[in-house]
Amino acid sequence: MARSLIVALSILAAGAVAWAAAEPAAKDADMKTAQLRLNLRSQRLARNAEGYNVWQAETAGQTLAANETALVLCDVWDKHWSRGANERLARLLPRMNEVVKTLRGQGVVIVHAPSDTMKFYEGTPGRQRVLEAPKVAPPADLPHADPPQPIDASDGGSDTADPGGSPWRSEHPAIDIDQTRDAVSDSGRDLLNLYRQRGIKNILIMGVHTNMCVLGRSFAIKQMVRWGFNVVLIRDLTDTMYNPARPPYVPHDEGTRLVVEYIEKFWCPTVLSDDLLKAAAK
């Protein structure tokens, strides 16, 4: 009887070990099949009933496979030279980090892209993960119109009196980096290698500043669209560099709204963070 009890306990122990070993694999399998069902907004030029040209907002559903999607945090720096920019980013940071954690848990690749700060991350696993991805030849840029933006930021875009400079040293510490899974890079060319390695087709982007870095960085909207990726801007987790003393002489938040709508018209659709969080919770 004692021998039977020992055998039974051994079987149970072996089963427990097997279950524990299988659990991470099961979680990985779940992440690989996770789907993000999103409501994407874009703008279409149409003619109304009176025969006038008008821009119409349209919302369409789209499902993204989580394991084919990257979330890029554009220039979410620890410090900006503009006091107004710092204050507005501070209000966005808690929600940004919530989105990062949630989408990471779904299997989305999180990309931390604080430009000009890569020295801070030298030798870290997240940085090495990008640098060690197999090199691929970049595709030819797809032709794409680039109309002028609706706001004037030729003065630098700050609505507060600031000294200028480049005070940033890293990404903001309010954003969690998981060095076991995340990627760190400010190079679109290097990230292309990682995206091809991981089978990434979709890029969600948030951060600052909408009319500058979010559109123009090598890892951001314009280049990724020209390389054929399916790009989506998270419209409530971004901010412009815009001074209301410049054309079109509107409040700062209105300037951000105008740039978001410009992106929806000419570059890519947008989504709300609440939509992403709800999609991940299903």
Question: Each residue of 106-116: pLDDT tens digit?
Answer: 999 999 999 99
What's the rounded mean pLDDT across residues 129-157? 97
The answer, yes or no, to whether residue 19 has pLDDT greater than 70, is no
Phi, psi of 4 (to 5 degrees): -60, -40
Same domain, 7 and 92: no
Q: Are strands 69-74 and 53-65 parallel, antiparallel or unpaired?
A: unpaired
Rounded-to-integer distance, Cα 215 and Cα 155, Å: 18
Name the residue range of residue 145's domain: 64-281
Residue 48 within a domain: no
Q: What is the pLDDT of residue 280?
A: 74
The answer, yes or no, to whether residue 282 has pLDDT greater than 90, is no
Nearest one of 73, 108, 117 to 209, comparing CA atoms: 73
Same domain, 153 and 267: yes
Q: What is the pLDDT of residue 11?
A: 34
**Percent of residues, the chain, with pLDDT higher than 90:** 85
Residue 264 within a domain: yes
Q: What is the pLDDT of residue 162?
A: 85
What's the rounded mean pLDDT across residues 219-248? 98
Kindly report the average pLDDT of the chain as a whole number: 90
Same domain, 89 and 195: yes
Q: What is the pLDDT of residue 130?
A: 98
Rounded-to-integer distance, Cα 45 and Cα 56, Å: 6
The answer, yes or no, to whether residue 2 has pLDDT greater than 90, is no
Residue 25 within a domain: yes
Residue 55 within a domain: no
Q: What is the pLDDT of residue 69?
A: 98
List Cα–Cα distances, 175 to 24, 27, 73, 93, 195, in angstroms: 25, 24, 9, 7, 22
Its pTM surpasses 0.85: yes
Point out which residues pair with 202 in neighbouring strands: 69, 230
Number of domains, the chain? 2
Residue 198 within a domain: yes
pLDDT in tens, 36-59: 999 999 999 999 999 999 999 999
Same domain, 68 and 27: no
Q: Which residue has the higher pLDDT, 278 or 70?
A: 70
Q: For 84-93, give one letter per residue: b (16+ CB within 10 A) or e.
A: bbbebbeebe
Q: Is 196 exposed, middle or buried (0-12, 13-18, 19+ CB in 10 A)?
A: middle
Q: What is the pLDDT of residue 191?
A: 98
Same domain, 125 and 210: yes
**Do 246 and 153 touch, CB atoms closer than 8 A?**
yes
Same domain, 13 and 106: no
Q: What is the pLDDT of residue 119?
A: 98
Residue 184 within a domain: yes
Same domain, 28 and 70: no
